[in-house]
A = this chain, B = another copy of it.
Amino acid sequence: MEDILIKSSTNSYKISIGESLRLQIKQFLNKEYSSVLIVTDEHVAALYLNDILENLPTDRVFQSIVPAGEKSKNLQSYYQLQTEAIEFGLDRQSLIIALGGGVVGDLAGFVAATYMRGIDYIQMPTTILAHDSSVGGKVAINHELGKNLIGNFYPPEAVIYDVDTLHSLSEREVRSGYAELIKEALIANENFFNTLLTVDIYNVSNRELQEHLQQGIKIKAAIVEADERELGVRKYLNLGHTLGHALEAELGYGTLTHGEAVAIGLLFSIHVSEDLFSVELPFEELLEWFRTNQYPIIGTNLDISALINKMKTDKKTLKSRIQMVLLEDVAKPVAKELDDTEIEHYLTSFESRLMAK
């Protein structure tokens, strides 16, 4: 097991990564809680819920199971969980455990952040992708008009990452998670990026996977500590996300996984960067790696004006100009505002470039 310590403005919490941690949940509880609510989805519940239930030291344990998938990150599920928390009798000395992927983590975290104005919660991510969302205290639900538009900065008490739970992931989920690892590498660590480009993501060993997660989390942790409330460098973590979020919203959440959408967004950011900064970046290598690893790189038949509208409701948008994170080089991110016409131009040339390959 490896621990990574994160200092937030209001608390410090540990990210513990290792095997069988779900069976040792007891040792991660720093105080006595009056009751515990485990929030999870139907898929994860079938696999791991009992492991947690059997290892908690209190008998006031409740469970709320939401449907799997991004659609649960909406206002209705949020309110339903609040209702259940009230009906179970959770009070301010209660704990919420978010057991699942990013959807469960963001949703249950936002419930914890706002239930009776905030109670403790613990993240137990069960996907590779959630290494990203479970670190940094961002919690949120989606608005019909855009992803993550409603939420808080609300750090967890702990993040418990049991790598055993990653064996049950589908290929789509593995792809989705590795896209965020690629993103972190692109922002901050060229060696890590080059290592990832040699990886066959469906055949990594447990040890390699743990190593990749640690690298990714360390990059994220350093950025989050430097800029908890996204006033500066934290925005670099949105590399690939301006177009990524717009694609997810435009195609309907769930059509592409988050990471699959980000993968396309990363290529687009590199495409724009190469032109704007007249630099050579690993566009071709990354595109090839994505295709080898079966990422659906949809770059044709996009409704460009609809995408631009979606990009404008991104939280990083200032005064209705689109802000993108670009790369002056690998590991040299920079934020830049672009006009609609520039974005339109680049989306068109991006489409042509992908079609030519």
Residue from the set A34, A138, A149, A313 with the largest chain B CB neighbour count within 10 Å: A149
Q: How far is the CB of A84 from chain B (nearest CB, A)?
A: 11
Interface flags for A72-96 (1: CB within 8 Å of B; 0: not) read 0001000100110011010111000
Is there contact, CB below 8 Å, between B152 and A117?
yes
Q: Is the CB of A320 closer than 8 A to any CB of chain B?
A: yes
Q: How far is the CA of A319 from the CA of B75 in the complex (A)?
A: 28
Q: How far is the CA of A118 from the CA of B312 in the complex (A)?
A: 18
Q: How far is the CA of A317 from the CA of B91 in the complex (A)?
A: 6
Q: Is the CB of A28 closer than 8 A to any CB of chain B?
A: no
Is there contact, CB below 8 Å, between B91 and A318?
yes
Q: Is the CB of A159 closer than 8 A to any CB of chain B?
A: no
Instruction: Determine which of B116, B144, B229 lies in contact with A149 in the assembled complex, contact meaning CB atoms within 8 Å.
Output: B116
Count, chain A residues at interface, CB 8 A = 41
Known: A143-B82, A318-B93. A138 touches B117 (CB 8 A): yes
Q: How far is the CB of A10 from chain B (nearest CB, A)?
A: 7
Is there contact, CB below 8 Å, between B152 and A113?
yes
> Nearest 7 pairs between A and B by C-beta?
A116-B315, A117-B151, A86-B145, A34-B319, A114-B150, A89-B320, A91-B318
21 A-B residue pairs with Cβ-Cβ distance under 8 Å, sorted by A, are A75-B75, A79-B143, A82-B149, A82-B150, A86-B143, A89-B319, A91-B315, A91-B317, A91-B319, A91-B320, A92-B318, A93-B319, A113-B152, A114-B152, A116-B149, A117-B153, A117-B229, A117-B230, A117-B315, A118-B229, A152-B152
